[in-house]
Amino acid sequence: MNLEQNIFKCAEVDFAKLASYGFIKRNDEWVYEELFMNGAFRAVVKIDAYGNVSGDVYEPDNDDIYFPLRIESMAAGFAGEVRAAYAKILQNIKENCCHINYFIYPQTNRLAQNIYQKYGDTPIFPWEKYDDCGVFKNPANNKWYALIMTIDKSKLDKKLNGKVEVMNLKLSEDKILQLTQQKGFYPAYHMNKKNWITIVLDDSQIDDVLLALIDESHSFTVEKRFKKAKK
């Protein structure tokens, strides 16, 4: 995976934002150019019609491609500084011209976007070994309210197989008992089954239903303060 692929691996280009950022449409692709490191180098970033990002760095004096950028053994020293500066240009494009897709399936990413819009929370990925496990937590107290991960369906039902994304939520015992009688809801995988439930994110349940359950789970992370009524 090259530098561009690595930086944009979770990003979906928003073509409507490219022109205002400085991209120019040339035939079937969008092109952005920027001088950096005090004009010593020129970055040329291209986005094709499918949202694939590529790029090169040139030396303006002779317009030659700066090949040390791609040589891992030269990642230190001056070449490393050029690489880091170019990566910063790519990061800025990603932050300003893309939607971030943290997960694989459309429904999962829609839910993540709704969580961000409502609570301002983005997932954290605390386990390097399990980099597809994203945790949503209340930053006020670090309490979890949602966990998204990729598992094999056989973990939920031995009659099934194949990879699927699921979400664990914290709900009341009564609600869990009620929901696990319905399609797509299971006793919590890898968590306390009394307090948590696992939901398959395959569009078998509409987003609004799951968003309401996310709100319930989030409510468990909100500290409740009761004030004594003054007599």
> H helices of 98-204, where?
106-119, 173-179
pLDDT tens per residue, range 158-178: 998 999 999 999 999 999 999
Backbone dihedral angles phi then psi of residue 21, each to the nearest 5 degrees: -80, -25
Indicate if 60 and 144 belong to the same structural domain: no
Supply the range of the domain harboring residue 128. 106-219
Q: How many CA atoms lie within 13 A of 118 on its CB side?
A: 14
pLDDT tens per residue, range 7-28: 998 788 999 999 999 999 999 9
pLDDT tens per residue, range 56-110: 999 988 889 999 998 877 777 899 999 999 999 999 999 999 988 889 889 999 9
Q: Decide if 224 is inside a domain.
A: no
Indicate if 114 and 96 belong to the same structural domain: no
State how far the Cα of 29 lies from the Cα of 39, in Å rounded to an integer.
Answer: 25
CA 160 to chain centre: 27
State how far the Cα of 170 lies from the Cα of 218, in Å rounded to an integer.
Answer: 8
Work out the mean pLDDT of the chain and round it to a whole number: 92
Backbone dihedral angles phi then psi of residue 196, each to the nearest 5 degrees: -125, 155
Residue 123 in tokens: 């997932």
Percent of the chain with pLDDT over 70: 97
Indicate if 198 and 120 belong to the same structural domain: yes
pLDDT tens per residue, range 167-216: 999 999 999 999 999 999 999 998 999 999 999 999 999 999 999 999 99
Q: Which of 61, 84, 100 is the last residue of a domain?
A: 100
